[in-house]
Amino acid sequence: MTISNAVKTRAAELSRFFEDAGALPVQCDILQPAETLLELYGEDIRTRAYVTFDPARGEQMLRPDFTVPVVQMHMESGAEPARYTYAGEVFRRQEDHPERPSEYLQVGYEVFDRSAPAEADAEVFALFNAVLGPLGLRAATGDIGILTAVVSGLKTTQARRAALMRHIWRPRRFRALLDRFSGRTPLPETRAALLASDAPQDIGSPSIGLRSDAEIARRIQALRHDAAEPPISTEEIDLLDAVMAVRETCPFALENLRDLAVDLPAMRPAVDRFADRCAALQKRGVDVAALEFETTYGRTSMEYYDGFVFGFYAGHRPDLPPIASGGRYDALTRVLGRGTEIPAVGGVIRPHLVVELEGAQ
């Protein structure tokens, strides 16, 4: 794909805007080690990225975004606090949306600062809100941290909580697990038969695949232990559903979530962080009273977001993806920092969409 000069110019302007806000311009290799991305996202990332092989460096992926390499760079040698901006091509397979480009420019702004996370959230959102303001976009916000806090507080086994955490970003799988763990759906007949048997071969199935007999036996034993556990209570499931259903402007969402936190104490710290963020946004001139909030917003985005998430949309162009999006990814710094971590938040803008919308005005 050929990227127009107008888009390149707009990308440079957006990056300079972030430089003026205190960001250091950085660049990252177009080819990124596939091993790192596979460790983070599993084999699913292959359906979204372009994979190639370099004889000297092994399996590589064309850069699907900048956040992961920027985090790696910062965790290796960055000072604190730090702010970065970048502008360059990213590459995404578009099997579900063939009308969208598979190569496009991305401009971003990332903040690494442990002193005041709520203030950093507000800083990033307010900058994006300001630079995109002339386009009249609709802003949406959410908080993955509230949902993970509720899941971590469920009165059930650690194995079940871990399974739900793994699939928070896959809503249908997450719901299927909730229904199974709460007893709302029965076990599939084949699994019920397997658990009732003394060994895998008792149900007439040959041993296939790469797992050893010992691994299969351990997996069956784990499934039997899980099947013997009491279901997650209806009350907890109903409360979790109520949390996930919150979709209001920020003040009303905060009030609703505080009421729910009375019965879900595990989510109180996350709700307090939401309140602190609202106050910080207000101080930066954001109209919080009109700002949309949805607890589950961002669940189908990149899986490294674990707190505040946001996006900007063209309301009159529902066919377009987010013009800009971002969020908090503290856990990613812990994974890539190999034992060290720092609170981090950032976002990206698609300058080709900015140019398209500006041309239509």
Q: What is the pLDDT of residues 268-302, one digit of tens each?
A: 999 999 999 999 999 999 999 999 999 999 887 66
Q: C-alpha distances in angstroms, 65 versus 157, 179, 223?
A: 35, 34, 37
CA distances (Å), 119 to each of 127, 137, 155, 161, 349, in order?
12, 23, 33, 30, 21
Q: Using one digit for the tens of pLDDT, what is the confidence trace for 96-127?
A: 667 777 778 999 999 999 999 999 999 999 99
Task: Please tell me the predicted confidence (pLDDT) of residue 204.
Answer: 46
The angle at the Cα of 286, spanning 306 to 298, to the nearest 5 degrees, equals 25
Instruction: State how far the alpha carbon of 178 is from the alpha carbons of 174, 232, 264, in Å.
Output: 6, 8, 17
pLDDT value for 134 = 95
Structure tokens at 116: 């005041």
Q: What is the mean pLDDT of the chain?
A: 87
203 pLDDT band (50/70/90 cuts)?
A: very low
Q: Which residue has the higher pLDDT, 49 or 328?
A: 328
Predicted confidence (pLDDT) at residue 206 exceeds the cutoff of 60: no
Q: Say what the pLDDT of residue 239 is.
A: 96
Which token pair is 297? 């917003």
Report the distance separating Cα 332 and Cα 330, nearest Å: 5
Q: Is residue 295 within 8 Å of residue 243, measured between CB atoms?
A: yes
- Nearest partner of 143 among 360, 328, 290, 7, judged by Cα: 328
Strands 24-25 and 292-294: unpaired
pLDDT of residue 199: 53
Angle 272-273-277 from CA coordinates, rounded to 5°: 120
pLDDT range class, residue 361, cuts 50, 70, 90? confident
Name the residue with higher pLDDT: 329 or 303.
Answer: 329
pLDDT at residue 13, as a whole number: 97
Residue 266 has pLDDT above 90, yes or no: yes
Q: What is the pLDDT of residue 217?
A: 65
- Judged by average pLDDT, the poorest of 279-293, 301-315, 339-353 is 301-315
**Predicted local confidence at residue 298, as pLDDT:** 87
d(CA 289, CA 276): 14
For residue 352, the model assigns a pLDDT of 95
Q: Which residue has the tokens 């993955």?
A: 144
pLDDT of residue 161: 95
Please choose, from the candidates 152, 115, 141, the residue with its C-alpha nearest in 3D space to the C-alpha of residue 308: 141
3-state secondary structure of 339: coil
DSSP H helical ranges for the chain:
5-20, 34-41, 67-77, 117-132, 144-152, 158-166, 171-181, 189-196, 213-228, 234-244, 250-261, 268-283, 330-336, 351-360
Residue scoring higher pLDDT (261 or 72): 261
